[in-house]
C-alpha cells in the first residue's frame, strides 16, 4: 500500500524499450508503487511487466498501466486525474518522462513540415505538457522527506538507493546539445531535443522556489540503447547498451544527485555520469 513517506513512481511512456526497462528495474529493486503508461494495449503491457519480475516482488499489486498520449493534452489531463484518484495525497517521488521519436534529415531539402511538427509534439511539447499536469504531485518545501528504506529486501545489495527527495527527469539527447553539434543533420530531432535542456533547467528553477531541497529536475542522455529506435545506428556506436543495463545506470545517476555531484540539479547527465552541456 502506497504511503506518503514512500511516494510513487511514474514512467511515461513505458510500453517498450528504455521505459519498460526502467519500470521493470523499479519493480525489481524497490517497493514503490509504479505507474507506467502506454498509448494502447495497457493490459498487455501490464501483464508483460508482471511476468518479467519475480513473483515475490508483488508486481501485480504494485504496478498500474494507464493510457496516455503525450501529443494529446486531454489524455495527459486524464492521466493526472487518474493518478490523483489512485494515490490521493501520496506525492510523486520519481518521474521519468521519456517520450521520443526520430525523423532523420541529412539536408534542409529533406525537411517535411508534418514530420517535423510531429517530432516537436512528441519530443518538446510532450514533456512540456507532462510537466504542466504532473508538477503538482511533487512535494512542497514543507513536506516530510521520503523514507530511504524503499529498496528491495533482498540479500543482494541493490544497485541504487532512492534518495529522500523527489526527482523529475526528462529524456534529452546528446545530439540536442548545441555545443556538442559537430556533424549537423537531424534538424528536427536535434532542435526538439535541445528544448528539453531548457525545460529541465527552467522547471528546476521553479522547484527550487516551490520545493526547495524536496524535489529537483534534471535531463538525461541514455547513450545508444539496443532498441528499435536506434536499430540503424548500432554498428556506428562504440557502446550499445542493453535496455536493462542503461535503466540501472540512469537510475544510479538520478539517485546520486546531488550526492557526489556539486549542484547537479537542472543539468543534463549521461549514463556515465558525465554532464552533457547545452
**Residues 82-125: tens digit of each pLDDT:** 999 999 889 999 999 999 999 889 999 999 999 999 999 999 99
Please list, residue by residue across 40-56, b when 16 or more beta carbons sit within 10 angstroms of its beta carbon and e when fewer do.
eebeebbeebbeebeee
Phi, psi of 152, rounded to the nearest 5 degrees: -65, 130
Whole-number pLDDT of residue 153: 52
Whole-number pLDDT of residue 68: 98
pLDDT per position as a tens digit, 214-230: 999 999 999 887 766 55
pLDDT exceeds cutoff 80 at 231 = no
Note the residue count of the chain.
278
Model confidence band, residue 33 (pLDDT cutoffs 50, 70, 90): very high
pLDDT per position as a tens digit, 13-29: 999 999 999 999 999 99
Among 41-50, 142-151, 260-269, which range has the highest average pLDDT?
41-50
Whole-number pLDDT of residue 258: 64
Quote the CA–CA distance of 173 and 177 in Å, as a whole number.
7
Whole-number pLDDT of residue 99: 96
Contact (CB, 8 A) for 20 and 50: no
Q: What is the pTM of this model?
A: 0.92
> What domains are there in the chain, each with its CATH number?
8-270 (3.40.50.720)
pLDDT exceeds cutoff 70 at 263 = yes
**262 versus 143: which is more confidently predicted?**
143
pLDDT exceeds cutoff 90 at 198 = yes
Contact (CB, 8 A) for 78 and 129: no
Question: Which of 4-8, 150-154, 160-164 shows the lowest mean pLDDT across its residues?
Answer: 150-154
Whole-number pLDDT of residue 230: 57
275 beta partners: 269
pLDDT exceeds cutoff 80 at 261 = no
Q: What is the mean pLDDT of residues 175-184?
A: 93
Output the average pLDDT for the chain.
91
How would you write 10-42 as a 3-class SS string?
A: EEECCCCHHHHHHHHHHHHHECCCEEEEECCCH
pLDDT exceeds cutoff 90 at 53 = yes
Contact (CB, 8 A) for 2 and 87: yes
Quote the CA–CA distance of 64 and 12 in Å, as a whole number.
12
Whole-number pLDDT of residue 154: 54
Question: Which of 123-132, 173-182, 222-231 shows the lowest mean pLDDT across its residues?
Answer: 222-231
Residue 182: how many other CB atoms lie within 10 Å: 5
Amino acid at each position: 500500500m502506497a504511503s506518503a513517506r514512500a511516494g510513487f513512481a511514474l514512467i511515461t511512456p513505458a510500453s517498450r524499450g528504455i521505459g519498460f526497462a526502467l519500470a521493470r528495474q523499479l519493480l525489481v529493486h524497490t517497493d514503490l508503487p509504479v505507474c507506467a503508461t502506454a498509448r494502447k494495449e495497457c493490459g498487455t503491457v501490464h501483464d508483460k511487466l508482471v511476468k518479467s519480475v519475480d513473483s515475490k516482488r508483488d508486481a501485480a499489486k504494485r504496478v498500474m498501466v494507464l493510457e496516455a498520449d503525450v501529443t494529446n493534452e486531454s489524455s495527459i489531463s486524464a492521466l493526472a486525474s487518474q493518478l490523483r484518484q489512485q494515490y490521493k495525497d501520496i506525492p510523486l517521488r520519481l518521474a521519468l518522462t521519456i517520450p521520443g521519436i526520430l525523423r532523420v534529415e541529412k539536408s534542409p531539402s529533406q525537411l517535411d513540415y508534418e514530420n517535423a511538427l510531429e517530432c516537436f509534439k512528441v519530443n518538446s511539447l510532450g514533456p512540456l505538457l507532462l510537466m504542466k499536469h504532473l508538477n503538482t504531485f511533487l512535494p512542497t518545501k514543507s513536506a516530510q522527506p521520503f523514507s530511504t528504506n524503499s529498496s528491495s529486501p533482498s540479500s543482494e545489495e541493490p544497485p541504487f538507493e532512492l534518495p529522500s527527495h523527489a526527482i523529475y527527469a526528462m529524456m534529452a539527447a546528446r545530439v540536442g546539445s548545441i555545443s556538442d553539434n559537430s556533424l549537423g543533420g537531424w534538424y528536427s530531432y536535434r532542435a526538439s531535443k535541445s528544448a528539453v535542456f531548457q525545460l529541465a533547467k527552467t522547471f528546476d528553477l521553479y522547484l527550487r522556489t516551490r520545493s526547495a531541497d524536496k524535489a529537483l529536475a534534471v535531463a538525461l542522455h541514455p547513450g545508444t540503447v539496443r532498441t528499435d529506435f536506434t536499430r540503424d545506428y548500432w554498428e556506428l556506436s562504440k557502446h550499445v547498451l542493453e535496455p536493462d543495463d542503461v535503466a540501472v545506470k540512469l537510475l544510479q545517476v538520478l539517485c546520486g544527485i546531488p550526492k557526489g555531484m556539486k549542484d547537479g540539479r537542472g543539468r543534463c547527465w549521461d549514463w556515465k555520469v558525465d554532464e552533457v552541456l547545452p
